[in-house]
Structures are given as structure tokens and as C-alpha cells.
Amino acid sequence: MKFGIPRGLYYEPFITEWKVFLEELGEEVEISPSTNKLILDEGVREGTNEACISLKLTIGHAIYLSKKVDSIFAPRLMNVDKWKRITLCPKFRGLPDLLRVSVPNVFTLNAFLGNFRRRFSFYLSVGRELGAGFLRTLKAYGRARSASRLVSYLMKRGFTPDEARNIVLNGNFSLKSGISEDGNGFPVIGVVGYPYIIYDDYVSHSLIKRIKEMGFGVITPEMLGEEEINEALKVLFKPLFWSQSNRVLGSAFIMLRKPEVEGLIHISSFGCGTDAWVSKLIELEARKLNKPLMRIVVDEHTAEAGLVTRLEAFTDLVRWRRGRAIV
């Protein structure tokens, strides 16, 4: 059988993990290409209105894939955190059912990926569905996990998810990473946002590349460690209910406290429910710590020119503040 894994809401390291796992079980896997205008238009036409751009994109990617593959591999991401009660945005929970509205064949299972026990039982049931034996599943699981660990490691070192996947799956090893924290003494700008937005060059209009071209170092949530983030979140009365949001919020708290980070950009999609809380909490914290913060909201209509102007104004502000600090 040939499976397709849509991008959009699905993100690394899960894409690589699933691809390696399915291929080890002898299935063919195709990952949808980077977002382009065609995919976006398809998704916007088919998707529910009021949904965030990433949800519409997932539908667009799935439609694109459905012409080429037998089935869309779309696990219902329920939990990727060590606490079982910390889940993901409701859109992830409804995603397979939403995909079924537009795409005929969707392969889905509830995926609890928070710790070894839950993760392994998820992969076992996938293996069972596909008719693979225990030992074969075990072997595939091992391969998949090591690939995904490598992807996470590379992302932590400043490779973009696409670069990391390329290295792990194709062995195209390059030492030059897309983003690296170390800006050779340049000021560093923190970019926080969900991985499926900040690393999607079409949606974010290559925000990270642009910041780098302007002579800044960039730091993203994927470059920070899990423990560090959980520690930073302890200032809250209770954590947020969504793993990705906790990650974004925790890393924003860390970045705002790092002396080398001179400014923070929070990029989120229009209508993002979880970001309503995240952005407010970041805003209150940034005001308290007196750090420049810019919030960019993207959707399918965001124009590049407006975004660049705002980015230039923000970097000027950061530079100006830096100049004043030295004087």
C-alpha cells in the first residue's frame, strides 16, 4: 500500500518517525511537497471557514496526495507530553474526521506518543492493522525512534525540519545549518510560534531566512530543551492544555530572560484559538521584562511587502535599543 503523509498541521519529528516506521514495514510513503499556491488554494476552497491556515493547508496537502497514494496516513495526535492530560489543540483531535470530509481514504488511529509505553502501543496497533508481526514492528519501531531522535537533535542544533529530515532520510549531510543560534556576535532575535507555521516558508514568508539576511541570529523553540521549558512554565498557576502551546510559551519565557536575545517575534495564524492565551501571556511577560516584542498574524491573504516593512521596523528598533545600551 502507498501512504501519504500530509504536511500542514503534522510536524517534525513525527513525519520522519512515521515515514521510517511505515517503510520498515514494507509500505511506500510519500510526504507532501512544501506548501505552494496550488495546495493552499485547494485547502482554502475545501476547508471550513474560520479554521486556521494550517488546518486548511493540511486539507490541501491531503487532497494533493490523495491523487497519488492509496491512503492518507493521519494519526489522531492525542498526546505528545509526559502528562497524559496535556493534549493537543482540538483541531488535531478532529483532524482525521475533517480530512475525511474532503478525502476518501484516511488511515487513522489514536496516537498517544507521550512516553515509551503509550508510544509503543500506538506503533503496535499500527503494525497490527497493517498485518506486520511483533518482531518486525519492534524493529521498525527502533529504526523510527532513532531517526526521530536524530531529527530532534539536528533541530536543536539549528537545522530546519526540512534540512533535518533530508539529512536523516537521504544522508545529504551538510554542516551548514539554516538557523543557528550563534550569530557571530550579532544580536539574536527569538522567533516563537508553532513549528508548522514558523518553518513553513510559504506561510511565514520565509521569516527566519529574512531575519538572518538582515544580520541577526535566530533562536526558535525547537532549539531549547524540554526540561528547561517545563521549568520555565512553573510560574503559571497551571500549564496550558496543549503541548505545542506549552512549548511556545515556555520558550518565550526563557528567551525573554536571555540577555543575548534582543527581541522576540511571535508568529501565529489568524483565528488560532490557543494563541489567544499564549500571546497575551507573552505580552504581559515582555512588558514586565521590557523587551521588544512583535506579534505577526498570518493567514492566506498575508502580503509579503507588509510583513517585510514590519520586520524592518522591528529590527531597526532592536538595533537602536542596542546602540543606546552601549552608549
Partner 1 sequence: MMKLTLPRMGYSYIGFRAVFDVLGHEFIEPLPLTKRTLDLGVKHAPEFACFPFKLTLGNLIEALETGRVDTIITAGGIGPCRYGFYGVMYEKILKEELGYSFDFILLDPPIKPYGNFKRVWEIVKKWKSELSWGEFFRRVVQGFKLAWKKLKRVEELEALVLKKRGWVKDVSRIDGILKNALGKIDRAKELEDVDLAFEEAKRDIESITPDRDEVLKVGIVGEIYTVLEPFSNLNTERLLNERGVEIERSVWTTEFIEYNIFPGLPFPLKQIVGYDTKEKIEEYSKPYLNEFVGGHGRESVAHTVMFYKMGFDGVVHILPFSCMPEIVARGILERVSKELDFPILSLSFDEFTGEAGLITRLEAFIDLLNMRKKKRRAVA
Residues near partner 1 (CB under 8 A) are 47-48, 50-51, 76, 78, 83, 85-91, 93-94, 96-98, 100-101, 110, 236-242, 270-277, 279-281, 284
Amino acid code (one letter) for 197: I
Q: Which is nearer to partner 1, 59 or 179 (CB)?
A: 59
Q: Which is nearer to partner 1, 209 or 295 (CB)?
A: 295
Please report how close the Cβ of residue 268 comes to partner 1 at its closest, in angstroms: 8
Q: Would you state the cell numbers that stand for residue 193, as one nine-digit string?
A: 510560534
Q: Which is nearer to partner 1, 41 or 182 (CB)?
A: 41
Amino acid code (one letter) for 101: V
Please report how close the Cβ of residue 91 comes to partner 1 at its closest, in angstroms: 6
> Can you tell me whether residue 292 is helix, strand or coil?
coil
Q: Would you state the cell numbers that stand for residue 164, as one nine-digit string?
A: 533535518
Q: Which is nearer to partner 1, 295 or 321 (CB)?
A: 295
Please report how close the Cβ of residue 49 comes to partner 1 at its closest, in angstroms: 8
Please report how close the Cβ of residue 272 comes to partner 1 at its closest, in angstroms: 6
Cβ neighbours of residue 135 closer than 8 Å, sequence gap 6 or more: none
Nearest to 90 by CA among 8, 9, 146, 152: 9
Please report how close the Cβ of residue 139 comes to partner 1 at its closest, in angstroms: 30
DSSP-assigned beta bridge partners for residue 71: 3
Using an 8 Å Cβ cutoff, are 80 and 95 in contact? Answer: no
- Rounded-to-integer distance, Cα 4 and Cα 91, Å: 20
What beta strand segments (E) does the chain contain? Answer: 2-5, 28-31, 71-73, 76-79, 106-107, 110-112, 188-192, 217-219, 261-269, 293-298
Please report how close the Cβ of residue 278 comes to partner 1 at its closest, in angstroms: 9
Q: Which is nearer to partner 1, 173 or 237 (CB)?
A: 237
Sign of the alpha-carbon torsion through 180, 164, 55, 201: positive
Q: Which is nearer to partner 1, 48 or 174 (CB)?
A: 48
Using an 8 Å Cβ cutoff, are 61 and 42 in contact? Answer: no
Instruction: Compute and round to an integer the Cα radius of gyration of the chain.
Output: 20
Please report how close the Cβ of residue 83 comes to partner 1 at its closest, in angstroms: 5
Cβ neighbours of residue 45 closer than 8 Å, sequence gap 6 or more: none
Nearest to 9 by CA among 76, 70, 65, 71: 76
Q: Which is nearer to partner 1, 85 or 117 (CB)?
A: 85
